[in-house]
Amino acid sequence: MEATNEIPEELFTFFEAMPRQGPGSEAVTGALFERFQSMLPENSVAADMGCGTGAAGLVLADAGVTVTGVDIHRPFLETFERHAAERGLSNRVSTRLAGMTESGIAPASLDLIWSEGAVFTVGFDAALEAFWHLAKPGALAVVSECVWLQEQVPEVLRSFWNQAYPGMRTAGENIRATETAGYRFVHAEVLPSEIWESDFYQPIETMMARMDRDISPGMQAILTEQEEEIALFRQFNHLYGYVFHVFLRP
Ligand SMILES: C[S@@+](CC[C@H](N)C(=O)[O-])C[C@H]1O[C@@H](n2cnc3c(N)ncnc32)[C@H](O)[C@@H]1O
């Protein structure tokens, strides 16, 4: 799910039916959490920024973290809460209908800030600034963000992503940005391209194949863009991808 500034309503509708709204997987989220859990206090308090239907937040809550899901789309939050209830995690999950840069979460209250595929909506640097104020000293931030893995890329790819995400940078540029903002860089890793396929693009393709083709022009435009995004990814996934950036607020 990629969009900037004005997010068309059809894009929300399309992704309401999806198990997740961006590339990633429960296994990857769980493995990253386990890897850095020893840097966190027992019973950590976290926010899942741009949580969508809670793909990441549910994994954190299942691991014992108390999670506030923050998102601007109410139906996503309702699904997150429903899934939390189905898994017996309601006592550790709450949600806020808000933007991540004005979430209303108390300053210096979070041990962990998690955000998968969502900070592009406000810009990586604006998210860094907002998260700084919410994080306790010593808190960790884990942010997955789409980045260029190579500087030289074909024009067709550059122009697609210039439209979809004009602010897309390299992981190196993002890491430097975390340090400029005052954080300590801890770790970065690329989300394997197989996970985009298995947990994101294949469910999208299954849904598109089932959809009635008698749809609004807006929804048709979304399907066309998804098809183009998937085709480009299959050709060029060695040139760009999601990177998990892990950094600490001193
Ligand atoms: C690509 S989706 C990722 C969702 C989820 N993290 C996942 O990985 O499945 C981006 C999410 O950011 C949300 N969003 C858009 N603008 C936002 C903002 N300003 N603050 C918080 N969330 C926002 C969207 O509603 C959507 O749920």
Domain presence at residue 208? no
For residue 115, what pLDDT band results from cuts at 50, 70 and 90? very high
For residue 3, what pLDDT band results from cuts at 50, 70 and 90? very low
- Percent of the chain past pLDDT 70, that is, above it, reads 98
Distance 26 CA to ligand 1 centre (A): 17
Domain presence at residue 8? no
Instruction: Ligand 1: list residues with CB < 6 Å.
Output: 1, 20-22, 24, 50-52, 55-56, 70-73, 76, 99-100, 116-118, 121-122
Q: Does the CA dihedral 43-63-175-77 come out positive or negative?
A: negative
- Percent of the chain past pLDDT 90, that is, above it, reads 86
**Which helix (H) or strand (E) is 213 found in, with range?**
none
Q: What is the CATH number of the domain that holds 168?
A: 3.40.50.150
Count of structural domains within the chain: 1
Ligand 1 atom 23, closest CA: 50
pLDDT at site 6: 67
Mutate to test the pocket of ligand 1, among 9, 95, 100, 134 (most ligand atoms within 8 A of CB): 100
Domain presence at residue 207? no
Q: Which domain holds residue 66?
A: 25-194+240-248
pLDDT at site 212: 75
Distance 50 CA to ligand 1 centre (A): 3
Domain presence at residue 209? no
Domain presence at residue 111? yes
Question: In sequence order, which residues have a C-beta less than 8 Å from that of residue 82 and are 6 or more positions away?
Answer: none
* Average predicted confidence (pLDDT) for the chain: 95
pTM: predicted TM-score of the whole model, two decimal places: 0.95
Q: What are phi and psi of 190, to 5 degrees?
A: -85, 135
Domain presence at residue 12? no
Write out pLDDT tens, residues 173-199.
999 999 999 999 999 999 999 999 999
Query: What atom in ligand 1 is closest to the CA of residue 50?
Result: 22
**Residue 231: is its pLDDT beyond 80?**
yes
Distance 14 CA to ligand 1 centre (A): 14
CA distances for 174 relative to 27, 140, 143, 158, 177, angstroms: 24, 16, 10, 18, 5
Tell me what the mean pLDDT of segment 114-134 comes to: 97
How far apart (Å, rounded) are the C-alpha atoms in residues 173 and 190? 15
Domain presence at residue 203? no
Domain presence at residue 227? no
Write out pLDDT tens, residues 50-85.
999 999 999 999 999 999 999 999 999 999 999 999
